[in-house]
Structure 1
Amino acid sequence: MSFLRDNGLSITLTVLTAATIAGMIFAGTQAFNEEAVIHGEPTVSVASYLATGHFLSALFENWESEFLQMAAYVCLTAFLYQRGSAESKDPDATSTDVDEDPRNKRNDPKAPWAVRQGQLVRTFYSYSLGIALAGLFVLSFVFHLRASAAAANVDAMRHGEPPIDLWTRLADAEFWFECFQNWQSEFLSTLLLVLLSIFLRFRGSPESKPVAAPYSATGK
C-alpha cells in the first residue's frame, strides 16, 4: 500500500492518459470509417487505424503542444518572475536562496551521479529537465509533421490531387494552423495558472500557496 501512496499521482495520471488515448482511438476509428464510407472506401479495424495519419497527426499534435508548454514553463520560470504567484520564485531572493550551486555538492555521496562529475556533465544535468522537454517537443513536432502529411495525402487522393512531400506540408498554412491552435491554448492556460494562483487557493495542493497567505506572497 505504501507504493500506491508514494506513487498515487503518477499512477492516476498514467491511468487517465491511457483511458483518454483509448477513447481517442475508438472515437477516431469511428470518425475515420464514417468518412471512408462517404467516399466509398473500405473501413479499417482499430489496429489498422493506429497507423493512419488521421490518428497519429492528432496524437502528436497534442503531445507537441503539451511538451512546448512544459518546456517553456520550466525554462521561463527559471529566469522570469511574477510577484505574488505560487508558480514564481521570489524576485527579491538571491539565486543561492532558490537553488544552491551544485558544485557545493560535488563531493556529497548522496548527490546524484551527474552532480559529482565534471563541469560539462554537471551543467547538462543542471538544465536536463528543460532540455528533455524541449527535445520531446521537437520529436513530437517532427512526428506530427510526418503524420499530418500522410493525412493530407489521403485527403488529396480522395479529391484526385497529387500527393505532397514533407517540405510542402511544412510550408502549408493548414499545418501551421494545426500547430498554433494548440500552442496558444497552452500558453493561455499557463498564464491563467500563474495569475490565478495569486488570488485563488486549493488547500493541500503544492501548486497553491497556503490559504491564509497574502496576495503579495510569492511561491509556496
Structure 2
Amino acid sequence: MRFLRDNGLSLAFLAIFLAALVGQSFAGLANTNEELAMHGLPAVGYLEFVTSSDFLVDVAENWQSEFLQFFLFILGTIWLVQRGSPESKKPGDEGVGSDEEQLVGEYARADSPRWARARGVRGWLYANSLLIVMGAVFVLSWFAQSLAGHIVANEENAEHGMPPETWISYVMSAEFWNRTLQNWQSEFLAVGAMVAFAIYLRQRGSSESKPVGTPHGTSSVEAE
C-alpha cells in the first residue's frame, strides 16, 4: 500500500497509457478491417495489425511529438522565464545554477545521488540526463515513425501502380511533414497555454498550480 501511495501518480498514468494504447489497437483494427471490407479484401487479425507498419507509424508519430514537447520545454526553462507562472523559475534565476544551488560536487548532501558527486563526463551526463533521455526517445520515435511511414507509403504506391520511393525522399515529402507538424503544433500550443493559463488560473491542491491566493505576478517559487 505504501508503494502504491508513494508512486500513485506515475502508476495511474501508466495504467491510463496502457488502457489508451490497447483501446487504440482495437479501434485501429476495426477501422482497418472496415477499409479492407470496402475494397473486398480479407480482414486481418489482431496480432497481425499491432505488428504492422500502419499501427507503428500512428503510435510513433504521437510519441515523438510528446517527447519533443518535453525536450524543448526542459531546455527552454533553463534560460527562459515567465513571470507569475508555476512552470517557470522566477526572473533573475535564468541559467544552469551554481554547484552550491544544484547540490553537486563538493556541495552534494549525504543523501544526494552518487553521480551528483562525480566530476567530468559522469557529472555532466547526470546533470543533463533528463534532457538527454527525452531527446533520445524523441529521435528514436521520430526515426521509427519515418521507417514505418516509409513502408506504408510504398505499400500505397504499389496498390496504385506507382514506383517505390526512397526513405530520404519520403522524409522530405509534404505528406510526412504535414503529419509531423500537425502533431508538433498542438503540443507546443498545449505547453504554451499551460504556462500562460497558470499565471491567472488556479487548481487547489495541484503541484502544477500556485496556491490559490498567490498574486498573479508571483511564481510558486517566490511564494514559498
TM bracket (short chain): over 0.9
| Counterpart code for 1:103 | G
For 1:146, the equivalent position in structure 2 comes to 147
Which aligned pairs between 1:107-186 and structure 2 lie closer than 5 A?
108-186=109-187
The TM-score normalised by the length of structure 2 is 0.92
Q: Deviations over 1:14-58 (max 9, x none)?
A: 110001001110010111112222233222101000121211111
User: Does structure 1 residue 23 correspond to structure 2 residue 23?
Assistant: yes
Q: CA deviation at 1:133?
A: 0.2
For 1:8, the equivalent position in structure 2 comes to 8
Residues 2 and 101 of structure 1: CA distance in aligned 2, closer, same or farther (over 3 Å): closer
For 1:66, the equivalent position in structure 2 comes to 66
User: Does structure 1 residue 100 correspond to structure 2 residue 102?
Assistant: yes
Tell me if the contact between 1:60 and 1:143 (Cα under 8 Å) persists in the aligned partners: yes
Q: CA deviation at 1:153?
A: 1.8
Which aligned pairs between 1:44-55 and structure 2 lie closer than 5 A?
44-55=44-55
Rounded Cα–Cα distance in structure 2 between residues aligned with 1:97 and 1:119 = 13
Tell me if the contact between 1:60 and 1:140 (Cα under 8 Å) persists in the aligned partners: yes
Q: Deviations over 1:127-171 (max 9, x none)?
A: 110111011000000000011111112222221222222112111
State which drifts further: 146-155 or 93-102.
Answer: 93-102
Q: CA deviation at 1:202?
A: 0.6
Structure 2 stretches lacking a partner, 5+ long: none
State which drifts further: 165-174 or 179-188.
Answer: 165-174
Calculate percent identity across the aligned residue pairs: 38
Residues 75 and 138 of structure 1: CA distance in aligned 2, closer, same or farther (over 3 Å): same
Structure 1 stretches lacking a partner, 5+ long: none
Rounded Cα–Cα distance in structure 2 between residues aligned with 1:44 and 1:105 = 60
Rounded Cα–Cα distance in structure 2 between residues aligned with 1:117 and 1:59 = 38
Residues 141 and 93 of structure 1: CA distance in aligned 2, closer, same or farther (over 3 Å): closer
Aligned length: 219
Residues 209 and 98 of structure 1: CA distance in aligned 2, closer, same or farther (over 3 Å): farther
Rounded Cα–Cα distance in structure 2 between residues aligned with 1:195 and 1:14 = 27
Rounded Cα–Cα distance in structure 1 between residues aligned with 2:100 and 2:68 = 24
Rounded Cα–Cα distance in structure 1 between residues aligned with 2:152 and 2:78 = 38
The TM-score normalised by the length of structure 1 is 0.94
For 1:56, the equivalent position in structure 2 comes to 56
Which aligned pairs between 1:84-99 and structure 2 lie closer than 5 A?
84-93=84-93, 95-96=97-98, 99=101
